[in-house]
Amino acid sequence: MKIFSISVPLALKSLLLAGCISAAGSMTAQSLTTQQSQTCGFDHEHQRLMRTDPEYRQRVISFNEAARHAPPGEDRDINTYKVPVVVHVMDLGTSATAVTDDQIRAGIKLTNEYWRKVAGSPGAGTGVDMGIEFVLAVRDPSGNCTSGITRTNMTGISDYVNYGVAHDGALGMTDAAMKAYKNWDPNQYYNIWLVSEIDNGGPVAGYAFFASSHGSLWMAP
């Protein structure tokens, strides 16, 4: 199973529930604690990569073809698949990145209520139990105990301090440069980045990518 990543401003809850947790990308911090009319930037970012990145485009096409010709699946077993998650808070030490561990855990819990269709929760209703849960990692890449939450001091990066992460705009730290500061093996962890803002406070609450952005094979042809 391939594990993906996502970047978001502190908008963990709104982004995960928007469906971006099924791919790889960034998200803001304040949407985690406030209700804002922000949007998920996945579609825009996916279409941009399809136009500009031939390798990404070919991986998407190859995966779609493999899925299209895959033999009919058997009935799903009763096992629940647990995906280890690491949340990277790209910290400024201000309200823009002020999120507690308990708020992050609450965001993961709410997401699982939707994915598991938990009775009596906001996730109950029409839909199905996906048999998948997201759990904060308990071991880091070196095998040490971890909370599954990291905090990286970003106050020395002027582009990030002033504009956050650049997504659809010219201002801000690039997605690749930001992730270079903290990134656990995406074949072993689902990476989520909580950032101060995207596109200097633009309307995007978060964005993600298909597995094809990772660049490694994860489904046999």
Residue 75 covered by a domain: no
Handedness of CA 27, 33, 122, 147 (dihedral sign): positive
- Per DSSP, the three-state class of 40 is strand
Per-residue pLDDT at 121 exceeds 50:
yes
Give dist(CA 154, CA 78) in Å, integer.
43
Per-residue pLDDT at 99 exceeds 70:
yes
Mean pLDDT to the nearest integer, 154-183: 88
Looking at the structure of the chain, the number of domains it has is: 1
pLDDT band at residue 4 under the 50/70/90 scheme: very low
The pLDDT of residue 141? 95
Residue 196 covered by a domain: yes
Taking only the tens place, the pLDDT of each residue in 27-72 is 555 444 444 445 677 777 778 788 988 988 888 888 788 778 777 6
Between 147 and 55, the higher pLDDT residue: 147
- Per DSSP, the three-state class of 188 is coil
Beta bridge partners of 215: none
Residues with Cβ within 8 Å of 157's Cβ and at least 6 positions away in sequence, in order, are 173
pLDDT band at residue 75 under the 50/70/90 scheme: low
Residue 183 covered by a domain: yes
Residue 73 covered by a domain: no
The pLDDT of residue 39? 65
Per the confidence metrics, is the pTM higher than 0.85?
A: no
What is the domain extent for residue 188?
Answer: 5-68+80-214
